[in-house]
Chain A
Amino acid sequence: MSPIPREGEEAVEGPRVPREEPAAPLDRATEREMLGSLRAGTVRWEPTEELWRLSVEPAQWVWSSRTATEGLGHRLSTLFADRTGDGPGGLRVHALFLGQGSSAGVHLSVGLDPLRPRLASLVDPIPYVAPFEREAAESFGVEFEGARDRRPLRRHGARDPEPRPAAGDPPAGSPAVPADRFAAVEGEGVHEIAVGPVHAGVIEPGHFRFQVVGERILRLEIRLGYTHKGTERLLSGRPADLGTIWAESISGDMSLAGAMAYAQAVERARGSVVAPADDRARGLLLELERTAFLLGDLAGIALDIGYAVGAARANGLREEAYRTLARLTGSRLGRSILAVGGLRRPLLPVPSDRVAATLVGLGQRTRSWSEELLDKSSVLDRLEGTGTLPRWVAELVPCVGPVARASGLRRDLRADRPYGPYRGIEVRVPRAREGDVKARFQVKVAEIEEACRLAGQFLEARDRAGTGGNPSAGPSVAVAAPSPTDGLGWVESPRGEFLVHVRLDPAGTVGRVHVRDPSFLNWPALEWAVRGNIVPDFPLINKSFNLSYSGYDR
């Protein structure tokens, strides 16, 4: 049993492994040289996004992706299609690669013929690209040559056979979609358990198919798509400033993170700068949301091991966090307070010292609660060694957020690619090595403490700046003439890396918005982590991941 490792400490158990240091980023000239060898049409450096934007030919697609992953050591963060016109090159596929630590990202895009969009699949260099390519194939009719998994992502086989383009129309004569089936395990004593989409608790819908021997889970297959609302398509053509309203409903339990990522994407596309006071207020709200969200995770873990008293206490703390958000914004989930360019309206006048004391109290109470919980052998019996996600799997998936950090990966956008309020401040990134439920529990406890500390820091900075206790709600300052273009927003949400990519139309409306919720990457890790565990532990493991269904389906 080990205390919760804080920043700079390693857990005391287990063999000592060298601390992971982020690889020294290549300098811009070397990167440019490597990317220049691709002979891409254009190589553009985006200083506000710390991103190389490259437009490549279809023949160079796999080779340039390999350069980004194997040459530069990046991982694929998202891949999506966008339709801008009917002529050749009117359908574009974009791939975004983000680096380890603070190195610059790479944005590749390729133009295809909208009438017959074909592109080589990236599945060989990048196995986890499959759900991205399935989505692009389903929504835009892109045919990925060499893809092995061609099942639709959200159209559930025979029940819903008609094509439903998400943002474009699939071309006539596009290949028929194969019916999707669940993989089955055969053998003596193997049976199948089907769960969902309507679950036993107050949670989102999804279907889980277990292959089980006795109580042991051999295999789990997760089918999502039940909450697909067509959010991305709905946003096309809307005024860009209104988009935060929908961004808040991508994953409603992280409304602020979604709105922040969207707002940043539009701000970067327009080249606008947010007033520092608004940035600090955003930071305060984002960290409060993280606190409330993660307390819910801890309460869920306590509940799923049958420790109802512990669950009730954590949920009491969570309620106080939501009430603090309500006192500041007028909405318990922080709805309709963030806007493109800053805040939609000033924060409500609440005595700063009361908020500060609440933050201190939440942090201290969470730690003392968790210490008490982890002092019980019956609790440890359920948490230790349950749902283990080894580091190499977390790297392969690739996981983001607390799930990745509990398996030893140091990934936190607040530290790696500081944005908005996190520029110029130190963010401690707690990690654990074991990758089991206990590790995720401990990482989340440490993250709540860090979130309370950061929120307190933003509050203090706000008071020092002497804005009368309220940040300005004034418009942001445009540093460049607004030219309709692309923008990328990134936020370390309570679940991890949340990306929004926005293309603005010349009229200033949204052309195409693409959302990559952290859960889109993390879901396959859950299928891994439950293998070999017993069925009754599945709810516990699921809760320790706490992935978003709505964020995956959108």
Chain B
Amino acid sequence: MNGPEPPRPGRPRPPPVPPGLPGGAPAPLGYPRGPWPTDEPPTRRFPRPDPDRCDGCAACARACPNGALRTAPSASGTVVSLDYGLCLFCHLCVDACPSGAMAAGPMGELAVRHRDDLRLVRGGPRPDPERLRHEVGERVGRLFAGSLSIRAVDAGSCNGCEVEIAALQWPRYDLERLGIYFVASPRHADALLVSGPVTRNMRAALERTYRAVPGPSFVIAVGACGISGGPFVGSAEIEGGVDRVLPVEVYIPGCPPSPLGLLYGLWLALGRAEPRLRQGELPAPVGSVPGTADRRTPARRPP
């Protein structure tokens, strides 16, 4: 390059942007190798029912737009069950609760490997967990040597997830620094990143795309739609979640998940982070530990 072209005469030039004026690109990110960033705007967190403060009025369940939250009376109080795979993070339940029992939990590192880990039951016994056998599972890091090529498939989303997935490729998140790439063809991909509730019109295309990915490969379901159908649950036009059609390895909840939540999910898929959410419960608060420590993948160890 020969440097900037000289300004042409007679053209009005805009005034230079004064240094220090806000509104420029945000700072680059160390996460997920480093700790959760401190300069992240506070996004809405996920609701956490507190059985001790609950008076069983069920206002939260009535407020929930798509049935992610349910309540049932029990001998000892109220059983509150909440499915983070359906939750839209709209906080209507938090606003509706008169006794302040719906506290907002931390947000971000919510991706899990088992659908069951997104189902929270408080105040009562929970049903037996359904653990599906994962084909690739913990071996992902070894199989793909810490680098991953992803084919993103929109299976009928509203384009909200796409906004955040696309943001991963740009300044601040800069996905490629982690060795993760978006590729243009399923033939080049190791994994499918699927958003949307899988509409009936997209089902065939999604299945054909999956068959075009050479093995070993796996599928990541993104957003409330990709996990369960999200707000569109109950519509006859959708299949209702990617795992109705394809085996899913990692679930990334949110409506849409934030770019940081997506980064964590991809890091989890690579086997470089442990899932935090266990049956809807969070053992340690997010951000308290740089839990997504830069574990070396088994592939890098000498045999």
Quick check: is A118 within 8 A (CB to CB) of the other chain?
no
Quick check: is B284 within 8 A (CB to CB) of the other chain?
no
Interface membership of chain A positions 458-497, coded 1 if the CB is closer than 8 angstroms to chain B and 0 otherwise: 0000000000000000000000000000000000000000
A168 to B184, CA, bound (A): 40
Quick check: is B42 within 8 A (CB to CB) of the other chain?
yes
Among candidates A205, A299, A361, residue contacting B202 with C-beta atoms closer than 8 Å: A205
Residues in chain A near residue B204, CB distance under 8 A: 159
Quick check: is B127 within 8 A (CB to CB) of the other chain?
no
Q: Please report which residues of chain B, range 12-42, place their CB below 8 angstroms from some CB of chain A when the two chains form the complex.
A: 12-17, 21-26, 41-42
A318 to B173, CA, bound (A): 13
By size class, the interface of chain B is 35 or more
B163 contacts A252, C-beta separation under 8 Å: yes
With A255-B160, A368-B16: A316-B154 Cβ-Cβ less than 8 Å: no
Residues in chain A near residue B23, CB distance under 8 A: 317, 320, 357-365
A376 contacts B5, C-beta separation under 8 Å: yes
Quick check: is B53 within 8 A (CB to CB) of the other chain?
no
Query: Closest A-chain residue to B186, C-beta based?
Result: A198
Q: Which of A106-114, A224-232, A266-274, A502-510 binds B? A: A224-232
B197 contacts A202, C-beta separation under 8 Å: no
Quick check: is A397 within 8 A (CB to CB) of the other chain?
no
A202 contacts B166, C-beta separation under 8 Å: yes
- Chain B contact surface mostly: loop
Query: Closest A-chain residue to B233, C-beta based?
Result: A234
Residues in chain B near residue A336, CB distance under 8 A: 44, 88-92
Residues in chain B near residue A358, CB distance under 8 A: 22-23
Quick check: is B263 within 8 A (CB to CB) of the other chain?
no
A246 to B89, CA, bound (A): 13
Residues in chain A near residue B158, CB distance under 8 A: 227, 229, 248-252, 550
A331 contacts B43, C-beta separation under 8 Å: yes
Residues in chain B near residue A311, CB distance under 8 A: 170
Quick check: is B275 within 8 A (CB to CB) of the other chain?
no
Quick check: is B11 within 8 A (CB to CB) of the other chain?
yes
CB distance from B55 to the nearest CB of A (A): 22
Among candidates A3, A245, A312, A326, residue contacting B171 with C-beta atoms closer than 8 Å: A312
A550 to B14, CA, bound (A): 37
Query: Closest A-chain residue to B156, C-beta based?
Result: A227
Interface membership of chain A positions 209-237, coded 1 if the CB is closer than 8 angstroms to chain B and 0 otherwise: 00000000000000001111111011000
Quick check: is B99 within 8 A (CB to CB) of the other chain?
no
CB distance from A451 to the nearest CB of B (A): 13
Interface membership of chain A positions 307-332, coded 1 if the CB is closer than 8 angstroms to chain B and 0 otherwise: 00001110111111011101100111
Quick check: is B167 within 8 A (CB to CB) of the other chain?
yes
Residues in chain A near residue B147, CB distance under 8 A: none
Residues in chain B near residue A250, CB distance under 8 A: 158
A330 contacts B255, C-beta separation under 8 Å: no
A550 to B158, CA, bound (A): 5
B157 contacts A360, C-beta separation under 8 Å: no
Among candidates A348, A365, A553, residue contacting B42 with C-beta atoms closer than 8 Å: A348
Residues in chain A near residue B65, CB distance under 8 A: 238, 242, 245-246
> Which of B12, B14, B206 gathers most chain A CB within 10 Å?
B14
By size class, the interface of chain A is 35 or more
Quick check: is A354 within 8 A (CB to CB) of the other chain?
yes
CB distance from A362 to the nearest CB of B (A): 4
With A312-B170, A315-B171: A326-B43 Cβ-Cβ less than 8 Å: yes
Residues in chain B near residue A361, CB distance under 8 A: 17, 21-24
Quick check: is B264 within 8 A (CB to CB) of the other chain?
no
Residues in chain A near residue B22, CB distance under 8 A: 320, 354, 357-358, 361
Interface membership of chain B positions 165-198, coded 1 if the CB is closer than 8 angstroms to chain A and 0 otherwise: 1110111100000000010111000000000110
With A245-B90, A333-B256: A230-B235 Cβ-Cβ less than 8 Å: yes
Quick check: is B135 within 8 A (CB to CB) of the other chain?
no
A233 to B15, CA, bound (A): 51
Residues in chain B near residue A228, CB distance under 8 A: 156, 199-201, 237
A320 to B44, CA, bound (A): 18
A368 to B42, CA, bound (A): 30
B156 contacts A226, C-beta separation under 8 Å: yes
A227 contacts B25, C-beta separation under 8 Å: no
A330 to B171, CA, bound (A): 21
B154 contacts A205, C-beta separation under 8 Å: yes
Quick check: is A160 within 8 A (CB to CB) of the other chain?
yes
**Can you identify 17 A-B contacts, CB atoms within 8 angstroms?**
A3-B11, A198-B209, A226-B201, A228-B201, A229-B232, A229-B238, A234-B235, A245-B92, A316-B26, A318-B170, A326-B42, A330-B43, A331-B43, A336-B92, A372-B4, A375-B5, A550-B157
The 10 closest A-B pairs by CB, nearest first: A361-B23, A316-B25, A252-B160, A252-B158, A315-B170, A230-B237, A200-B184, A336-B90, A326-B41, A330-B44
Residues of A whose CB lies within 8 Å of any CB of B are 1, 3, 154, 156, 159-160, 164, 197-198, 200-205, 225-231, 233-234, 238, 242, 245-246, 248-253, 255, 296, 299, 311-313, 315-320, 322-324, 326-327, 330-333, 335-336, 344-345, 348, 354, 357-365, 367-368, 371-372, 375-376, 548-550, 553
